[in-house]
Amino acid sequence: MRNLSMDAVRVAVGLLALAAFCLIPLETWTYGPNLCLWTQLFHIGACPACGTTRALAAFFHGQWATAWKYNANIIVTAPGLLTLLAHDGARLWKKVRSTPSSRLRSGAGLNTVLKSE
């Protein structure tokens, strides 16, 4: 069984990434530096994933045609990321709910409960 605190970290990182894609203006993602590791290391024109970050930003800003233009893998990537986030959130919620409430009321705090799983 996976550690409860790792599940909490995974959900938190997913929510932060989703918030970043939604809140940071699309122009920032579009005109920012090229972060593609393959392009930087191997000096190739583009890898199959190039444009995915910009595509995700455009997708979460509701600009689906722009997202498709950046990278067509957005059809799989965005729903996949949302599905993983929902699945991880549901699993975390189930684990927290199954933790005896006496452990939460004993003053141990949620942090102790998360680490002890």
Domain residues for the domain of 29 are 4-116
pLDDT > 90? residue 21: yes
Q: Mean pLDDT over residues 12-17, rounded?
A: 94
Does residue 1 surpass a pLDDT of 50?
no
Tell me the per-residue pLDDT of 27-62, one tens digit each, with 9 for 90 and over: 888 887 777 788 888 888 778 888 898 999 999 999
Q: What is the pLDDT of residues 71-107, one digit of tens each?
A: 999 999 999 999 999 999 999 888 888 877 655 555 5
When divided into structural domains, the chain yields a total of 1
d(CA 93, CA 2) in angstroms, rounded, equals 14
